[in-house]
Amino acid sequence: MSQPMIELRRLHRNFGRTRAVNDISFEVPRGTVLGYVGPNGAGKTTSMRILATLDIPTFGDAFVDGFSVINDPDRVRRRLGFMPDYFGTYSDVNCWEYLDFFARAYGLVGPERSRAIRDVMAFTRLDGLRDKPIRGLSKGMKQRLCLGRSMLHDPSVLIMDEPAAGLDPRARIELREMIRALSARGKTILISSHILTELAEMCDQVAIIELGRLIAIGTVQQIMRQRTSHREVKVRSLDPLDSLMNWLARKEQEESVFDLKRDGEIVRFSHRLSADEEAGILRQMILDGIRVSEFAGHVTSLEEVFLSVTQGEVQ
Amino acid sequence: MVSDAGTLSEDKAGSGWWARGEEWLVRASEYLNPLLVKEARQALKSNQFASTFILLMTLAWGWSFLGVSLSEFQLSLGPDGRSMLFGYFMILVVALFVIVPFSAFRSLAAEREDGTFELISITTLSARQIVFGKLGSSVVQMTVYLSALAPCIAFTSLLQGVDIYLICFLLLISSIVSLTFSSFGLMFATITRARHWQSALSVLLILALGFATFVWLVMSFEFFIGGFGRVVLEYEVFWTSVLNTLTVGLSFVALFTYAAAGQLSFASDNRATALRCVMVAQNVIGLGWFIYYWLVTGDWDFLSAAVVTLGLYWSVAGAFMTAESPQLSPRVLRQLPQSLLGRAFFSWFNPGSGTGYLFAMANIGVAVVFILAMLGLSTVLGMRQFGMPPFPAGGGDDLLLTCVMVWAYLAAYLGIGRLILALFRQFIYVSLPLAFVVYCALHVVGNIVPYMLYASVDRYQSSYSTILAPSWMFTVYTALDGKLNGDLAIALVSITGAAVFLANFILAAPEVGYEKMAVPDRVMKDEIDLHPELQPKAAKSPWD
């Protein structure tokens, strides 16, 4: 098995008596976009700051590409780009000077630095704003500039803390596209956001934390399966719905399905069957002459998962 | 016009010496600290910098016109050259002693307040590079202010009473002091991150810099107007004073800079070793200068002053060192010396409370032994024929007593403070400010309470009393004065110092027991990937 790009191993971080991060462990494989979700004060920013080598855990360790954030922060920094939940920009410098400074700080020299700056300006669509003073940039532009800054040294891991906060819809869409493009380039991304619908579109997996503890991790469907023992299916038929209802009622008597109900032109039911057994029901339905036009499991949204797994507690 | 990184932009590529010069400058900037480049760019666009520069120029030109007018246009005939120079010097000193150090302080404090420091700290720049970049920026600022006043100062060299030596002396000393203040400002900025404390520190620093400027100007007034400069310039002592200021000033620049870098570095980094190396250098420099002045002047008070000054120095440095955590991170353990000799001699440079205590005691011990050796060479072995000053009758006992008292008090106060901090560490995190408060309380209790008891018990007696034994201030002062005759007090202090030292020596043993930790294979592989020229080498130094 290849080495995970991000690994949290029994991570703890206490501030006085507050346990901001409480025994969190998980791994993120190379090339994965992991959404980091949790209520305010859940410990997302704290654990991200530890990964970014800005803080040190009280107990446990975190690794980026196999390097400990405690013992090898310099090696972690070469592999990691961090976009915090603030801009961190300077007055009296323009976009190019800002990126040039950070490129120098990452040790890029000469033509390599010029190329890196050009590339990130093109990627973040800031090439037209080369000489524009930073103080004149909009929030969306500043966010793109900060993304560019975090990419200058071509890190293999990107950590983004609330990158979409406060952005207008267009800027959010642009940011989402950039994150998708980065994912396509094989970057491993850990991203936190409260805009769950957008996060669901970008992420391969999500990790949900609350009160400093990891509640669940996996794809949305995996988490939902872990959390609920049944699956809801909706069926549409070209025939009158009565025949479908009768067919399913028989199955309900056999206790294969339950919670059968009619919802307009759709019939919904739930079951605790395996995927194979679910496919068997569809096959049987068709063999029994029911003209099925739609047979689909209910797609659980990230919001539903979030609400079902979190309690809304704060510390 | 140059666009970036050594390349001329295609559309604006110029020709001729100007373009070539600019391209050369851009190429040269590759070797400069990135922060220096960034701050220079910011300064060029900063209204604050421009307005300060213009104000400085205006004041200088204003003084030129005023000075010439006041001398009724007879400058070249009268002794007004020094007055003119002093006027320019006042303007320069305010810029160098207040504006430059305060800008350095604000520059670093603002980075921390605005969160940009965090972004810099996760780049490949080390904490030391960040501090040196800021200090470099101060040097540039200093150079700009000096250049602004250079024509005016050069003008005074044509006048009566001013020569080029005086000007060089002024500029050199002012620059060194300004650099020292700037490095202190940087260190001051790292004390706290909280915005309200930063505001309080700003006020404190401004007041301190203002006071230092005032003192410097008063001293300089005497120097210029009183004609002392002309007298001093003729003696060898003057030039040794310049060298003295240079070595001491630069060593403090190094101390403050490394202290600031230590404060900014990552929690698992080794923050101590570099600082301790600077401290050893300062011990040697300090001791060396006192011995030099003793040899030149023949005044034995220089040796007494040496032991007291170094005692005070190590009590402050030791207080901070004993506040260090005794636990070493795996990152530090990887860098420990490995050989037996290396561990024996260099373990004291490792971070840690116990090693810090023993390091301070070893350094003051070396100084004391060296001074006593001088005493021995001069009196017992009769080295007078080799240029050693003759010893005053009976003075040897006082110096010996002062040395013993200073060492014993340092051992006791530092040791007790360290034990209190070790006790606190069982329950809470011991920070530097907490250690500072503990030591302050210890010194106040140790000095004020005995004096109050002494005053209440025997208020009319002026001689030394055993009640004053815990007070290092009164006891050492009395010893220096040659009036310390309380045998019981001497014995008490000596025994307490030795006992506390022994207790700390035993308790510090675990800190010396740390062994070098192997570097993980993953790290070794990455190191070789980064630097293919580096191959595993045979042991050549204590760290291998």
Please name the member of A75, A82, A153 whose beta carbon is closest to the beta carbon of B526.
A75
Residue B389: what pLDDT? Answer: 63
- Do A92 and B37 count as a contact with CB atoms less than 8 A apart? no
Residue B286, classed as helix, strand or coil, is helix
Residue B395: what pLDDT? Answer: 59
Instruction: Please tell me the pTM assigned to this model.
Output: 0.84
Residue B454: what pLDDT? Answer: 82
Q: How close A194 gets to chain B, by Cα (Å)?
A: 22
Is residue B72 within 8 A of residue B140, CB to CB? The reply is: no
Residue B324: what pLDDT? Answer: 87
Residue A315: what pLDDT? Answer: 64
3-state secondary structure A201-241: HHCCEEEEEECCEEEEEECHHHHHHHHCCCEEEEEEECCCH
Residue B492: what pLDDT? Answer: 87
What kind and span of H or E run contains A63?
strand A59-64
Which residues from chain A sit within 8 angstroms of residue B30, using beta carbons? 109-110
Residues in chain A where the model's pLDDT stays below 70: 1, 312-315
Residue B225: what pLDDT? Answer: 59
CB neighbours (10 Å) of residue B455?
A: 12
- Do A89 and B124 count as a contact with CB atoms less than 8 A apart? no
Q: How close A158 gets to chain B, by Cα (Å)?
A: 13
> Quick check: B38 contacting A, CB < 8 Å?
yes
Tens place of pLDDT for every residue, chain B, 544 residues?
344 444 444 444 556 888 888 888 888 888 889 999 998 888 888 888 888 888 988 999 898 888 878 776 565 555 567 788 888 888 999 999 999 999 999 999 999 888 899 999 999 999 999 999 999 999 999 999 988 888 888 888 777 777 777 788 888 888 999 999 999 999 999 987 777 888 899 999 999 999 999 998 888 777 665 655 555 556 566 778 788 889 999 999 999 999 999 999 998 888 889 999 999 999 999 999 998 888 888 788 888 899 999 999 999 999 999 988 888 888 888 888 877 777 777 888 888 899 999 999 999 999 999 998 888 777 766 555 556 666 665 556 778 888 999 999 999 999 999 999 999 988 888 888 889 999 999 999 998 888 888 888 766 666 777 788 888 888 888 887 777 676 777 888 899 999 999 999 999 888 877 888 888 888 888 888 877 766 666 666 666 6
DSSP A25: E
Interface subset of A 30-69, CB within 8 angstroms of B? 52-54, 56, 66-68
- Do A53 and B122 count as a contact with CB atoms less than 8 A apart? yes
Q: Kindly report the average pLDDT of chain A as a whole number.
A: 88
> Quick check: A299 contacting B, CB < 8 Å?
no
Which two structure tokens, joined as six digits, stand for A140? 């969306």
Residue B346: what pLDDT? Answer: 81
> Quick check: A93 contacting B, CB < 8 Å?
yes
Q: How far is A153 from A161, CA to CA, in rounded Å?
A: 19
Is residue B292 within 8 A of residue B306, CB to CB? The reply is: no
Residue B10: what pLDDT? Answer: 42
Which residues from chain B sit within 8 angstroms of residue A104, using beta carbons? 34, 37-38
Dump pLDDT digits (tens) for A260-310: 888 888 999 888 888 888 899 999 999 999 999 999 887 777 777 777 777
Instruction: Give how far the C-alpha of residue B393 lies from the chain's centroid of Cα atoms, to the nearest Å.
Output: 37
Q: How far is A33 from A204, CA to CA, in rounded Å?
A: 5
Please name the member of B42, B118, B330 whose beta carbon is closest to the beta carbon of A93.
B42
**HSE on the CB side for A190, CA within 13 Å?**
32
Annotate B234-283 with DSSP letters as a single string.
TSHHHHHHHHHHHHHHHHHHHHHHHHHHHHHS-TTS--SHHHHHHHHHHH
Q: Which amino acid is at A67?
A: F
Residue B8: what pLDDT? Answer: 41
Count H helices, E strands: chain A?
Answer: 11, 14
